[in-house]
Structure 1
Amino acid sequence: MNEIDQTKRTLSSSDICADLHTHTIASGHAYGTIREMAAAAADQKLKILGISEHAPGIPGTTDPFYYRNLKAVPRNLYGVTIVHGCEINVLNDGARSLDDEMMKYLDYAIVGIHRQCYQDQGRERNTDHLISCMQHPKARLVSHPDDDHTPLDYSRLVQAAKQWNVALEVNDSSFAKQEERWGCLDNYRCMLQLCEQYRVPVVVSSDAHDPSRVGCFDQALSFLDEIQFDRSLLLNLNENLGQLLAFFQLREIYVHS
């Protein structure tokens, strides 16, 4: 990929300003409160924490009514700006698992395929359905597009991300679960090469389900270093904070510490 001075390329979790894909106890299979997650984010020197509970479709997750009262959560906890997303499931007909009425309460939406509520329909139809969900104006990120249990056409996905102004995720937890996420490394290599070709931004995420995992991106960042990925496309790098705020439309929400 890019020929860049390697002495300037070593990335670590301390280089990241925001963790936008995390889950609290409200998701039903995660183990921290919002305040515990925010305290962990502060310990990791993050500027922004995104709480993105699982939408309906995942067993045990929160009732959609949860999203109506997100205004009750302080925007700043322990010096960290709190923003509210939702990890919305792609369903087998290409619909989203959270309706428009609830999406209006979100700062942003993440869309992704989860095998708990989606059956593989082949590479082309899987891609069709994911692209359909990416077209909602609140959609800003595609979660863990890396698993050949539900294969994707990465050329089509990346070009759709460019068209609909949606970032693609490099999910740190996928690297720890490679036996479960078939073809993860090869899929990321393919996707990220296309992201460079089409100038499509990416976001690294912890996908933390416990405070101990908030702000943990080292495996994903090591992979990005290995393939010499263009860091100007990594939205949640500290140096790209302004781009992140503009892309996720968070400028008016961000609280400077």
Structure 2
Amino acid sequence: MKLVIDTHTHTYASGHAYSTLIENARLAKENGLEMFCTTDHAESMPGAPHYWFFSNQRVLPRFLEGVAVIRGVESNILNIEGEVDIHPTTDRNLDWVIASFHEPVFRPTNKETHTQALINVIEGGRVDALGHLGNPNFDFDFEVVLAEAKKHNVAIEINNTTLRGNSRVGSVERCYEIATIGKELGVYFTTGSDAHFCHDVGNLDLVSKLLDEVGIASEKVITHSSRQFLDFLALRGRAPIAEYDHL
């Protein structure tokens, strides 16, 4: 499947990534992207920046190296109540919010707890996508959570780094199962490299392969075109971005 947007990328500001925003933009262009989301880790992750870093993204140009830049964050799911570590004053300066489980922030417990946390995150309304859900350390009820995501128009991320099999070991088969159930339910999918080095920005080959093998329709993949992605942001209630009206 053709994918023109990478919705999950990190810069060295995350504390354990190694490239600048401009380097990421340069590789996004070289790898054929029209748009990418910059989504550094929110502050609860070890080494992550203060919330001012995310509020101040309003100073970022809307295009770098000819590629559209979406201002975002990968927030951490903090507890079973579904709280995420985004300061209330930051919401208005963000275009895109991922929420993910990370072991240093949310200690893995049991399937029921993880399921309830994800449901509460979705219902909280602050999050546009759920990140790298395949991680077996955070088992959850796939059908219940994906049905809730469908109801609230929260996208399900298919993560290229996860599909390599050397990170979050045991995730690959689970990702295929999640995608299959998501297809049946009609959820929206998004695609992220989870790049922690610039050369991986736009590297979505394994994601594309999964989408094709599972047979997910392109109209359900919000990163298939820039217009689909912007329409999804509008569906989520995000403010229009005037600089992208022509896309």
Q: TM over 0.5: same fold? A: yes
1:1-257 equivalences in 2 (<5 Å): 11=1, 15-93=2-80, 94-176=82-164, 178-238=165-225, 241-249=226-234, 252-254=242-244, 256=246
Aligned residue pairs: how many?
241
CA contact (8 A) 2:119 2:148 kept: yes
Deviations 1:151-192 (A, max 9, x none): 01100111110111100000000012x254243122122211
CA contact (8 A) 2:63 2:69 kept: yes
Residue 203 of structure 1 aligns to which amino acid in structure 2? T
TM-score normalised by L of structure 1: 0.87
- How many Å separate the matches in 2 of 1:76 and 1:180? 31
- How many Å separate the matches in 2 of 1:47 and 1:59? 31
Structure 2 partner of 1:3: none
Computed over aligned residues only, the root mean square deviation of the Cα atoms, in angstroms, reads 1.8
**Superposition deviation, residue 252 in structure 1:** 3.2
- How many Å separate the matches in 2 of 1:56 and 1:75? 24
Which 10-residue stretch deviates more, 111-120 or 92-101? 92-101
- How many Å separate the matches in 2 of 1:17 and 1:232? 13
- How many Å separate the matches in 1 of 2:106 and 2:125? 23
- How many Å separate the matches in 2 of 1:179 and 1:36? 25
- How many Å separate the matches in 2 of 1:256 and 1:206? 26
- How many Å separate the matches in 2 of 1:211 and 1:251? 25
Which 10-residue stretch deviates more, 242-251 or 30-39? 242-251
Structure 2 partner of 1:7: none
- How many Å separate the matches in 1 of 2:70 and 2:52? 18
**Superposition deviation, residue 104 in structure 1:** 2.4
Secondary structure of the structure 2 residue equivalent to 1:183? coil
**Superposition deviation, residue 253 in structure 1:** 4.5
- How many Å separate the matches in 2 of 1:138 and 1:106? 10
CA contact (8 A) 1:111 1:134 kept: no
Structure 2 partner of 1:8: none
CA contact (8 A) 1:113 1:130 kept: no
**Superposition deviation, residue 142 in structure 1:** 0.6
**Superposition deviation, residue 135 in structure 1:** 2.9
Change in Cα spacing, 1:99 to 1:135, as seen in structure 2 (3 Å) is farther
Identity, in percent, stands at 28
- How many Å separate the matches in 2 of 1:209 and 1:75? 21
CA contact (8 A) 1:92 1:119 kept: no
